[in-house]
Structure 1
Amino acid sequence: MERRDFLKSATAATAAIATKASAAAATPAPTTRPQSPDMIYRQLGTTGETVSAIGMGGFHLGKQKDPAESIKLIHAGVDKGITFLDNCWDYNDGISEVRMGQALKSSGYRQKVFLMSKMDGRTADAYNKQLEESLGRLQTDVIDLVQFHEIIRMEDPDRIFAAGGAIEAAVAARQAGKIRYIGFTGHKDPAVHLRMLETAQRHNFHFDTVQMPINVMDAHFRSFTHEVMPVAIKQGIGVLAMKTFGDHFILDSKTVQPMEALHYGFTQPVSVLITGIDNQQVLDQALEAARTFKPMSQAEVQSLLARTKEAASQGKYELFKTSAHFDGTAQNPKWLGETTTA
């Protein structure tokens, strides 16, 4: 073996050992937050954390023309019992995090919520840079959960778990108290999620959460519900549901009503259903879905899935699976921290 090959192998081995040792670090102590009798609360995987079954999606909270509207929506949701807030380093060029930070700064709101954000960086350097920016925008010293964003390529797990990869930065950030839990997200193909979970296991790393599409059409096409969710639950990983409405496209199919779609999502064994909320009417709809929720029977679920089967069969209304419409890192590969194209 040539010296440079030996050094490369030694570096990779050292990084792997460090990751394994760090993965065994002490579990953070769960935090208690106020609860509302009209909200559903669930355990977040095996973290010991209790969170609201509704998560306020951060992307939509950066779309209001007046920042005060965004802040008002966040306060209204938290006041009604929502404790799980979603965000991402790249949402609306950082505006979503800035506004959420402004909302949480006032009247003790930060202590009332479980705060999540996501990083696009696949390298340790890119991850660290993005994390510091997110901490600043969110005006907090610690983010409760940080997830690797848009794991949508088969090579993404290799990039993250490579020597100098983002996993090293995430573990170090957890040890430093900047983040408390680590997860990942993706919306493209169950095979990519499964490869991420397999790669983590090979490195003796346990994810706290995994975010994926769970909706009334997913069962019929590249199904995360059938292929990934059972694996995650078996491993004690908290499942975060997203794409309940597929933006608006699933509702455009005219096969399901919003309340049905939300109740279907709540019926699944997920910890949180993250939904986009951009105005008071949509917030009220989500709150009403939680207030009126009763688990659907198997017959009711099958009836609903039968209704959506034909429309869902080719992924026409799940554009996040079949197009680049939702792939921010494909359109902006520099976010990954690499010079190669996505």
Structure 2
Amino acid sequence: MQRREFFRTAVATTVSTPLVNGSAEGAVPAGALPRFDATQEIVRGDMRYRKLGKTGVEVSCIGVGGFHIGIPADEADSIRIIRTALDAGMNFLDNCWDYHDGLSELRMGKALQDGYRKKAFLMTKIDGRTKAAAAKQIDQCLLRLRTDVIDLIQHHEMLRMEDADRIFGEHGAQEAVEGARKAGKVRFVGFTGHKDPLAHLRTLEVAKENGFRFDTVQMPLNVLDAHFRSFARNVLPVLVKEQIGVLGMKPMASGAILESKAATAVECLHYALTLPTSVVITGMETMDRLKQALDVVKNFKPLPEGEVTALLAKTEKAAAKGKHERFKTSTEFDGTAKHPEWMG
């Protein structure tokens, strides 16, 4: 695929564009927000499960955000949140090598003892861009998480246009990831980023040039994103067409949407779940936050087109210039910018 043709598949248009059903048979119309096909959802008890791209795995539509697991002062509270979520059928666990200097992984590793590992689809991320750095971080993740295999490893913070060239270059991080997968330490591979849709498209492009297809892609998906440097408009249609698992993050823009009063937490989660996400990852640093997420899943119905249009209309002003999505417009959320040594 030529670069110009690749980028043409994702063209942003006005926010009034309605959501349309995503389909594996073909691309979503240019500019449209793809919509989750509710017939593909599997309901067991009070939990809903969706397919993770082509992996053959079913994951809970809501996932436990790993960064927030490191926030409670008492480790026991973090462990209780994780185990309660798993007992409720919420099987997708998010984490990262650098969250709280490894504390989030250490706590999750403890929570996964006593038979809880078998209930979880475990994902974590690495920052290394070189083979040596990535290999070291993968092994550290395995030790902290107290597991022999990580279900999904993701290249973290693909923020710069050159990041993809680094990981796929000679002695790049992808060599370490492939080595870990062949050794049975890793099952699936994806990447994350929160800065710019073009960086995501570039990463997908470089992967194709190297004959590689990602299993998952993680990105911000929220009611403000549709208006500004939009991942939903520019990247999501490509993932739907390619049947790559979609991991939505920052559904409340790291809390900024709630502070702006542009939308409620429940509205934010319902919107993200109405998109063709395999899982929406959200922070649960308290039992109340976990209960809120479980209640949303239990009562979820895809938002009608009219409600989506109204929700986007009332959030348009708050979304202007990325004011409340500072992870797109500043280095405030860029761990690898503050710690370039993590990349190797």
2:335 is equivalent to residue 328 of structure 1? yes
Return the letter of the residue paired with 2:211: N
Given the two structures, how large is their TM-score scaled by the length of structure 1? Answer: 0.87
Return structure 1 stretches of 4+ with deviation > 4 angstroms. Answer: none
Alpha-carbon distance, 1:326 to partner:
0.8
CA distance in 2, matches of 1:169, 1:280: 37
Return the letter of the residue paired with 2:82: I
2:244 is equivalent to residue 273 of structure 1? no
Counterpart selection for 1:221 from 221, 225, 228: 228
Alpha-carbon distance, 1:36 to partner:
4.4
CA distance in 1, matches of 2:284, 2:184: 30
Return the letter of the residue paired with 2:124: S
Given the two structures, how large is their TM-score scaled by the length of structure 2? Answer: 0.87
Alpha-carbon distance, 1:63 to partner:
1.2
Q: Which residue of 1 aligns with 2:215?
A: 208
Q: Which residue of 2 aligns with 1:92?
A: 100
Q: Which residue of 2 aligns with 1:172?
A: 179
2:71 is equivalent to residue 57 of structure 1? no
1:20-74 Cα offsets, whole Å, 9 max, x none, are xxxxxxxxxxxxxxx8410110000010000100110000001111111110110
Equivalent residues of 1:36, 1:80 under 8 A apart: no
Counterpart selection for 1:138 from 141, 145, 148: 145
2:129 is equivalent to residue 129 of structure 1? no
Return the letter of the residue paired with 1:85: L
Return the letter of the residue paired with 2:104: S
Q: Which residue of 2 aligns with 1:23?
A: none
Q: Which residue of 2 aligns with 1:302?
A: 309
1:284-326 Cα offsets, whole Å, 9 max, x none, are 1000110110001111101100000111021000010011111
Q: Which residue of 2 aligns with 1:30?
A: none
CA distance in 1, matches of 2:159, 2:201: 11
Q: How does 1:33-48 map to 2 (within 5 A)?
A: 36-48=44-56
CA distance in 1, matches of 2:175, 2:242: 22
Alpha-carbon distance, 1:273 to partner:
0.1
Q: How does 1:66-105 map to 2 (within 5 A)?
A: 66-105=74-113
Alpha-carbon distance, 1:272 to partner:
0.4
2:122 is equivalent to residue 115 of structure 1? yes
Equivalent residues of 1:97, 1:134 under 8 A apart: yes
1:169-215 Cα offsets, whole Å, 9 max, x none, are 11111111000000000000000000000000001100000000000
CA distance in 2, matches of 1:36, 1:70: 25
SS of 2:157's partner is: coil
Alpha-carbon distance, 1:109 to partner:
0.5
Unaligned runs of 5+ in 2: 1-42
> Between Structure 1 and Structure 2, whose CA radius of gyration is higher?
1
CA RMSD of aligned residues (A): 1.0
CA distance in 2, matches of 1:277, 1:40: 18
SS of 1:40's partner is: strand
1:122-144 Cα offsets, whole Å, 9 max, x none, are 00100000010000000000000
Q: How many residues align?
A: 303
Equivalent residues of 1:241, 1:270 under 8 A apart: yes
CA distance in 2, matches of 1:276, 1:328: 18
Equivalent residues of 1:212, 1:224 under 8 A apart: yes
Return the letter of the residue paired with 1:248: G
CA distance in 1, matches of 2:272, 2:242: 21
**Stretch of structure 1 that moved more, 86-95 or 230-239:** 230-239
Q: Which residue of 1 aligns with 2:155?
A: 148
CA distance in 1, matches of 2:229, 2:311: 18
Q: How does 1:180-195 map to 2 (within 5 A)?
A: 180-195=187-202
2:183 is equivalent to residue 197 of structure 1? no
Alpha-carbon distance, 1:255 to partner:
1.2
Equivalent residues of 1:239, 1:270 under 8 A apart: yes
2:167 is equivalent to residue 160 of structure 1? yes
